[in-house]
Chain A
Amino acid sequence: MNRKKPIVHELRNGLKVLMKPTHSAPLVSVWCWYKVGSSDERPGITGVSHWLEHMLFKGTKKYSKEEMKSLVEKRGGYWNGYTWIDQTTYFETLPKDHLDFALELESERMAYSLIDRKEFDSERTVILAELRGGENNPESLLDREVTAATFQAHGYHWPTIGWEEDVKRITHDDMLSHYERWYNPSNATLVVAGDFEPAAALRKVRKHFGRIPKGMKRPQERTVEAPQLGEKRVTVEGSGSTSYYHAAFRAPAVSDPQFYALVVLDAVIGGAKGISLWSSGSEASKSSPLNQELVEKRLATAARSFTVPTRDPYLYYFTVTLAHGVTTDRVEKSLFRLLNRAAAKAPTKRELEKAKNQIRAAHVFQSDSVTEVAHNLGYFETIDTHAFLDTFLDRVQAVTGEQVRALAETLFVSKNRTVGIYAPAKVRRGSRA
């Protein structure tokens, strides 16, 4: 892993450019990040950021929708984009000779997307299909309800895909003003990683982005979620014969010095998953207390914990798939017992060393392609600063057992918790819904 710092530049129009040359493979990865996610939306247009992301694959001034379909693939690359609570991003990774093309494509996207009205209309049903596909999964339904119950005032309240009734009503004008408001150089970060020469790359960046007007940044001020007054509990009834239990604790944001203790705490309780958005789905490591207390003791068939770096305080989240015949009460008791233990007693020297070893290894595994290297830089720049990555491992190393315990003591209290239970409804299988 290349631990050299990235080269940082800012164009006159405010576009932040991060470049990380790594000559391990003849590839480049270009990511364009926008400081806008679903939490920057307002009720009535929830889901507009995500929908806009779909529209940005449907043609620009230079590239028609038809051409755009295979633009990157025919050059031997792949591309995609995603929207989440704090960010929207687009990328392409392709053979290094196509760097100029990738930069041009992202500049077109930023300033000259078509967002055709007819395409907008036809995409509404695609988004609804995506939303309903998510609802087919009991755990994503429960996650949505738990998150919404936890956040009342902050924009983390609604799901990234939006509320169904908003998605049905968002207008073409809503989308155009969203695009004009947020897709500006001064609200964006461009990241290039891979096999390229920085000075030449910067000239290309200037050529394609230099003339785009500055625009507005994301405001610093955001709604602050007030402390909870007590535990919250939500229930979801649905199909199936399996019960799921979720518990979410409000947790520090990435810029909070306590974030490092949180990463270590999670590694101690459920095993390290790394700090990438993608790793949050992995199951608790086998020797971790979470797995030992729930899965090995046969109360659950799967257990996970995760915490994801976010701009504002978000969640430290636990999910449990209950073993057949086990009650949620029993699972809850076991889970709380192990969390209370973490709050009462600092991890042993060996537990701490193990957690840090895991964090280091996971960090290496998550930096093994130019796509991931570029992703990580842009991800942290968008929610805090890319410099987070320069010191991450050192700051994790410096976390003490007592800091971990103290954080657990603050987090794992009933007033800081939302519990979600998915209870299979008693509907005869095969009957009409």
Chain B
Amino acid sequence: MIRTVLPSGLRVIVKTNRLSPSVAVRLVLHSGTIADPAGKEGLANLTSSLLEDGTKKWTGDTIAEKTDFIGADFGVSVDRHATVFVASFLREHLAFMLGLGRELLANPVFPAKEIRKVQGQILSDLREDEHDTGAVAMKNLRRFLYPRTHPYGRPGSGTKKTIPALKRSDLVRFHREEYRPSGGILMIVGDVKETEAVSAAKRAFGSWRGNGRPGPPEVPDARGPQRIRTKAHVIPQKSQCDIALGMVGIRRLDPDFFAAIVLNQILGAFGLGGRLGNRIREQEGLAYYVYSALSPTVGPGPFVIRAGVHPSHVGRAVALMTEEIDRIRQKKVTDREIEETRRFMIDSMPLRLETNEGIAAFHLNEEYYGLGPHYLEKYRESVQGVTKEEVLAVAQRLLRPDAFGLSVAGPALPAPLEDLVGPLS
């Protein structure tokens, strides 16, 4: 693996992987949705969606024709903290695809006609989401976890109100202020010679300058709900309810990170959904999917339990979730649970590092959070070092059976949601 920093501050990392004659590229800039100005929610999203619709050198049609002709896949996505250019292609197209990345990120022109089209598409997605039980459950849960003033409490994809109001000048300004190479990370993995890929990256990105943020922006803490807060949202003519129960989780650089990911595995991920899967799916047959997910990121991402169940089973499923939350913070996990989970997390690394995409994701993470050049070894040691006591301590810190958000979306429930969970709390 080679790592180098261009004079602009763009970090370039290349790793050879000769599994197939293809290459994966990811370029990360620190311009996420949390940079949206108040009242202009969805601006980062709209800006990134328009990059491929025209640059100084090429029209959107030309870009589409050129990339489609060589069978390359590419796209630009945006999350809370970053805009990411992602591409996969056959190895002979490395120089062209890096040049394309540069053109999209540095020289977009935002044609007015295309802006209207993409606004229409985003609005249509938002309308579809309003009738998607999973999306509605998660959206309502977020409101319980983060106040509107918190960067994670704002709607990153925008709203039906903000999207139509965005103007071309907003996009141009956002791009000028937020899209900078300094501090960005370019990861290239695949069937390439490392030195040649570095040269290609220099040719494509060497002359792109601009000072932006050196790293991801600060994200404040969030307390999360201090009691049980519930919301049931009826969507008629659906067959099943989506449940989202959650609290605020941790940051990626939290000292309890490793204990927390072991905790999440045991609670609702390992095997067929950990303890939650065992109780709710295997023993009681209430759900097809049930799991917990911890999303440690720059700021404290959510810790969420999800399940899809029949309206008449919502009360029972929630009761089992809170029982499991209570149990894992009352009593240490078993020897078998912690040993098997650690084994899985360590021994599955070759699998995670098999494909170009997997390798790119791992090393990008390492660079993004500054985890150090020997992170793979550190990861193994850290996971191996997690004790039952640490898992108990982090469970007590993160989980409370009497303080969480509970959001349900789907057909009408047999009784008000607060009555269904009432006797528990």
Contact = CB atoms under 8 A, between A and B. Distances in A.
Interface string B342-385: 01101111110111100000000000000000000000000000
Interface in B69-118: 69-73, 88-90, 117
B238 A433 contact: yes
A93 B351 contact: yes
A1 B121 contact: no
A122 B68 contact: no
Contacts of B48: none
Contacts of B282: 65, 69, 122
B281 interface: yes
B286 interface: yes
A241 B130 contact: yes
Given A1-B20, A433-B411, A272 B130 contact: no
Nearest to A424: B131
Contacts of A364: 20-22, 90
Given A73-B270, A73-B271, A122-B283, A133 B237 contact: no
Size category, A interface: 35 or more
B64 interface: yes
A301 B353 CA distance: 36
B272 A133 contact: no
Interface in B205-254: 233-240, 242
Contacts of A65: 282
Nearest to A237: B237
B131 A368 contact: no
A389 interface: no
Nearest to A433: B236
Given A133-B289, A354-B69, A122 B21 contact: no
A239 B121 CA distance: 20
Contacts of A93: 351
Given A124-B285, A367-B20, A129 B354 contact: no
B272 A354 contact: no
Given A73-B344, A241-B131, A324-B123, A135 B70 contact: no
Contacts of B335: none
A129 B287 contact: yes
A271 B72 CA distance: 11
A85 to B, nearest CB: 20
Contacts of B344: 70, 73-74, 76
A241 B130 CA distance: 9
B412 interface: yes
A242 B88 contact: no
Contacts of A26: 350
Given A73-B271, A129-B310, A433-B234, A95 B240 contact: no
Nearest to B121: A301
A330 to B, nearest CB: 15
A117 interface: no
A354 B340 CA distance: 49
A240 B132 CA distance: 9
Interface footprint category on B:
35 or more
Contacts of A240: 127-128, 130-131
Contact of A24 (B19, B73, B127, B240): B19
B164 to A, nearest CB: 12
A432 B71 contact: no
Contacts of A238: 237
B387 interface: no
A298 interface: yes
A431 B65 contact: no
Contacts of B349: 76
Interface stretch (A177-185, A252-260, A285-293, A392-400): A285-293
Contacts of B270: 70, 73
A242 B123 CA distance: 11
B69 to A, nearest CB: 5
A115 to B, nearest CB: 15
A368 B22 contact: yes
Contacts of B127: 240-242, 324
B410 interface: yes
A75 interface: yes
A7 interface: no
Given A74-B340, A427-B236, A123 B69 contact: no
A124 B310 CA distance: 13
Interface string B1-26: 00000000000000000111110000
A171 interface: no
> Which of B61, B67, B236, B278 has the most chain A CB atoms inside 10 A of its CB?
B236
Given A76-B351, A125-B286, A324-B123, A288 B68 contact: yes
Interface in A378-433: 425, 427, 429-433
Given A133-B240, A365-B22, A301 B120 contact: yes
Nearest to B409: A136
Contact of A286 (B64, B239, B343): B64
B71 A357 contact: yes
A358 B68 contact: yes
Contact of B88 (A122, A324, A350, A365): A365
19 contacts: A73-B344, A77-B347, A78-B351, A95-B350, A95-B351, A126-B281, A127-B288, A129-B287, A132-B240, A239-B238, A272-B71, A285-B64, A286-B52, A286-B67, A298-B117, A301-B124, A361-B71, A368-B356, A427-B237
Given A94-B351, A429-B130, 4 more contacts: A75-B347, A129-B310, A324-B123, A364-B21
Nearest 9 pairs of A and B residues by beta carbon:
A76-B347, A361-B71, A286-B64, A132-B239, A130-B288, A240-B131, A287-B64, A358-B71, A301-B124
